Structure 1
Amino acid sequence: MVKSSLFLGYEIGTGKEVTVPIFHTLITGQTRLSGKSTNLKAMAKQAIKKGFKVLVMDTKINLADFEGFGNQIPVCLKQTTDPLVLRDLLESINQRKITQFQSTLIDITRHAKTFEEVIENAKDMLEKKRISGFKKDACTTLIDLLARLIEQTKKFKTTVNLELPYPINVMTVNDFDLQGQQLIANTVLAEVLTKFENVIIMLDEAFKLLPQKWGSPCKQRVQEYVTQGAATGCFLWLATQFLAPTSKDAMKAMPIKILGRQDHNTEVEHTLELIPESKGKYSDSMIMQLKLGHFIVVTPEGSTHTYVCPEFADRNECIEVAMEIRNPSDIHYVFSVDKKDFDKIRKNRPLEEAAEQVEYPLDFPVDLPPITKPDSTVFTMEVDDPEAEKLEPKPEEPIAININLDKIERRIKVRTIIRSLNISDDTIRGKILTIAHEGFFSEYRVLEEVTDELAKRGWSAQYRRVQNELARIARDGIFGVKKIKKGLFYTLAPNVIFEEEKVKNVSA
Structure 2
Amino acid sequence: MEGERVKVLLGFTVPEGEPFYIPIHHTVITGMTNLSGKTTTVEAILHRSKSKALIFLTKRGEKHFPDTHQIPPFYKERFDWEYVRGLLEASMHERLKFETPWIIRISKKAHSLKEVRLLLGRLLTERKLREFDRNIYTLLAAYLDKVLPTLTKAKHKFTDTLHLKEGINVMDLTEWYTNEEVQMLVIQSCMEHILKYENNVIVALPEAWKLLPQSRNTPVKLYFEKFIREGAANNNYLIIDAQDLGGVDKSPLRQVSVWIMGKMMEANEVQRLLKQTLGLKIKPEEVQTLPLGHFLVAYGREVQKVYVWPYGIPKTIAVDVAKGNLNPEFVRDMLLKPIDKPSASIPQPLLNRLTELDEKIETLNKRVDSLDKTLAQLLTQKRGITKLQNIQLQKTFYNIKVTQTQKRFTLTDETVQGKIMWLAKEGFLNTWRSQTEIEKELTRRAWTIPRISVYKALKALVKQGFIGQRKTDRMQFKIAPNVRFTNE
TM-score for the superposition, normalised by structure 1: 0.62
SS of 2:22 mapped into structure 1: strand
Whole-Å separation in 2 of the counterparts to 1:13 and 1:273:
26
1:327 match:
327
Instruction: Please give the residue correspondences for 1:45-444 in structure 2 after superposition, counting only pairs within 5 Å.
Output: 45-48=47-50, 52-63=51-62, 65-66=63-64, 68=66, 70-129=68-127, 130=129, 131-132=131-132, 133-154=135-156, 156=157, 158-176=158-176, 177-273=179-275, 276-279=278-281, 282-331=282-331, 346=424
Higher relative contact order (CA 8 A, sep 6+): 2
Q: Which amino acid aligns with 1:61?
A: R
Whole-Å separation in 2 of the counterparts to 1:220 and 1:271:
23
CA positional deviation for 1:96: 2.9
SS of 2:53 mapped into structure 1: strand
Q: Is the 8 A contact 1:109 1:121 kept in 2?
A: no
Whole-Å separation in 1 of the counterparts to 2:88 and 2:175:
20
Deviations 1:350-400 (A, max 9, x none): xxxx7xx9997879xxxxxxxxxxxxxxxxxxxxxxxxxxxxxxxxxxxxx
Larger helix fraction of residues: 2
Q: Which amino acid aligns with 2:16?
A: T
Structure 2 residues not aligned, in runs of 5+: 337-412, 435-488
Q: Which amino acid aligns with 1:19?
A: Y
Whole-Å separation in 2 of the counterparts to 1:102 and 1:336:
48
CA positional deviation for 1:196: 0.6
Q: Is the 8 A contact 2:88 2:144 kept in 1?
A: yes
Deviations 1:407-432 (A, max 9, x none): xxxxxxxxxxxxxxxxxxxxxxxxxx
2:381 match:
none
TM-score for the superposition, normalised by structure 2: 0.65
Q: Is the 8 A contact 2:250 2:277 kept in 1?
A: no
Q: Which has the larger radius of gyration?
A: 2
Whole-Å separation in 2 of the counterparts to 1:198 and 1:145:
34
Whole-Å separation in 1 of the counterparts to 2:249 and 2:71:
28
Report the aligned-residue RMSD.
3.1
Structure 1 residues not aligned, in runs of 5+: 364-508
Whole-Å separation in 2 of the counterparts to 1:138 and 1:194:
31
Q: Which amino acid aligns with 1:72?
A: Q
Q: Which amino acid aligns with 1:66?
A: H
Whole-Å separation in 2 of the counterparts to 1:358 and 1:105:
67
CA positional deviation for 1:151: 1.8
Q: Cα distance 1:31–1:342, how it changes in 2: closer, same or farther (>3 A)?
A: closer
Whole-Å separation in 2 of the counterparts to 1:99 and 1:87:
10
Identity of aligned residues (%): 26
1:17 match:
19
Whole-Å separation in 1 of the counterparts to 2:188 and 2:146:
20
Q: Cα distance 1:6–1:291, how it changes in 2: closer, same or farther (>3 A)?
A: same
Q: Is the 8 A contact 2:66 2:414 kept in 1?
A: no
Q: Which amino acid aligns with 2:296?
A: I
SS of 1:137 mapped into structure 2: helix
SS of 1:218 mapped into structure 2: helix
SS of 2:219 mapped into structure 1: coil
SS of 1:88 mapped into structure 2: helix
Whole-Å separation in 2 of the counterparts to 1:361 and 1:181:
49
2:43 match:
41
Whole-Å separation in 2 of the counterparts to 1:344 and 1:277:
45
CA positional deviation for 1:91: 2.0
Instruction: Please give the residue correspondences for 1:473-492 in structure 2 after superposition, counting only pairs within 5 Å.
Output: none
Whole-Å separation in 1 of the counterparts to 2:415 and 2:230:
42
Q: Cα distance 1:338–1:273, how it changes in 2: closer, same or farther (>3 A)?
A: closer
